[in-house]
Structure 1
Amino acid sequence: MKAARFYDREDIRIDEVPEPTVGPGEVGIDVAWCGICGTDLHEYKDGPVFCPTHSTPHPISGETAPVTLGHEFSGVVYALGDGVEDLRVGDHVVVEPYIIDDSVDTGPDSKDYHLSENMNFIGLAGRGGGLGEKISVKRRWVHAISQDLPLDQAALIEPLSVGYHAVERSGAKAGDVAVIGGAGPIGLLTAAVLKAIGCTVVVSELSPLRRQKALESGVADHALDPTQVDVAEEVRKLSSDGRGADVAFECTSVQVVLDTLMDALRPTGVLVVVSIWAQRSNFDIHKLVMKEIDLRGTIAYVNSHPATIELVESGKIDLAPFITGKIAVENLVDEGFDTLINRNETAVKILVSPSGQGL
């Protein structure tokens, strides 16, 4: 079968690889669609980061480069391993793409398995990936979805779960004013979750195309251009008592955005850092102290998929507006990565069909 494989920085190849064996307790999935994530772009430009090297295997998967990429994917069950009795061939599914040591409690009450030692992701550190035509995944990480939910939209469940967990970390509730720094894919999907729970959402974004997408998709009530207005002042005007936002989400890893969000928050507000920072921040700790701001980090998701899927299946979130392109796996680098690296304001989520079906 075809698969997009990471060999090294700026070295991704479309290989012919053996189809996976579906072992006991595993689910064989025909991949329908796989999204390109910002993490994939970082691996391509700056990696290996999450991906193993040729000489250093990942401690849990045991795999070295090359590895198949892709962790945002949906598909159809084609085989069930021994012991899997609660799914059927033909079921539509998405994957919570974790690689976690078997000793870790990943049960429904766990709130920290995603923070376990050596945690990594299917499609980055081994065990196949969504940029291959087929994959076999442990039953624990497979989530059934309604057949009424289009599989292309379902491929966005994984990044939407990132937004869901970030909102959960913030403690946001209906009636709150929330401000988001950056209307890239994660910023927009975080906004979608906030709107779904009844928040007033303000987005700060340089790109006019992304501001337009935030408004047209209905996930933002206001989209501000930080080069034209004082974002903090505008947010204070939009809050009922003029004191600022209740919660803020940093989705850019840009220092000026972090500073702006700090200014836009009311005293005792919550600032959640969603983006991955490759450099140290020059953060104004004094301002944090004087406003008693809660600064919180968030990474990925933890037991977030069921609630995220429910938001989509109930119609509270429409993922269709965020799909801005569909390509074949053979065009992953020249049409997918190149667009998202060099013209990222023109796209939100580009989906890849490993098999070519649906194009």
Structure 2
Amino acid sequence: MMQVRLRLAAISFAILLLLPSLDQVVGLSAWFRSTENRRLRRMPLLHFPYVRQFVIRFDQYYKENFGGRNALFYVYSRWKYKILGQSPLPEKVVVGKNGWFYLGNSYNQVVDQHRGLVPLSDSSAALITDHLIGRQQELARQGIKLYVLIAPDSQTIYPEYLPDHLQQSKELSRLDVLKRAMAKTNLPFIDIRDTLLAAKRTHRVYYQTDTHWNEYGTLVGCAALLNRIRQDRPTIPPVYVMNYTIQQRSGMSGDLTHMLTLQDNVNEKVAYAIRPSSKLASRQIAVIPREKAVFPARRFAGSGFDRLLFIGDSFSNSMMRYLPAYFRESYFIRDGKLDAEAVRSERPTILVLEIVERNINQLATF
């Protein structure tokens, strides 16, 4: 009887050892998809005599690609979140209070930024300011007005739902330091933190399970931007809430819960469907692939007078639903650098650079 048990244990152990390889070949757990938002390593090539380097790279590759990994992470993620109430990937996603999720430190040290552990020095702020002023002058010679819009991190607008040990520092934030430097210039630097903090008293302005502002927060951000541009371009009509139909609804799960494979278990409690009135209608007239760029550029036609070139990050996606109506033509680019060719070909009168708060250091290379 003892021998039978030993054989069964040996066979079971051997099956467990073989399962990852078998799964990799047959695809037993193929329906478990990776949603961790990570770039998988490719199978390394063996080049003699560099065998040691191959072994190291293969080890890294196998740890990320072994058979059944996605299924194991699926189980682990639910156990970690549902039983222990913790994030399965704390460096990528922070689990907050009352169903809130936040980006973790693996994204430009956003948590440490919020806690004041990665301050922006006055000299760094001066370098960013000087660079932006140079861009402003360069564009002004072409008859283009530059505006810089900062989209706040969700930690900034909803700090109350962060874990207690991750609360914000009382020192000046990186954005505060940069804003202080920019205040000495005539470059329109649009900080909408106070506007969003005021708006959240009556409406949810960011997603709980996503890194971005929601539809209402997007509309508030667009209104703040347009109102600032109107100071220089009075022909742009004012933004009135009455021109939009706003309906509250339940929402889908966001990108942060997808990273944890919890998208089937956690959904948005508050979301909005917003429709502009017919007089604010715009239409997309072209989608233009960009060489060496993941996202294509998009062109819109509206009813305004100015031509808008908008260079932004993922926060700009939802802004395409509201801004184009206020301009004769709009051209949106997902990028972090000034596209000189687009400036020449589009001949905009207004150029808006939008960047999320955690990435303001990238303004030094715009």
What TM-score results when the alignment is normalised by the length of structure 2?
Answer: 0.29
Q: Which has the higher contact order (CA 8 A, sep 6+)?
A: 1
With the length of structure 1 as denominator, give the TM-score of the two structures. Answer: 0.29
More helix by share: 2
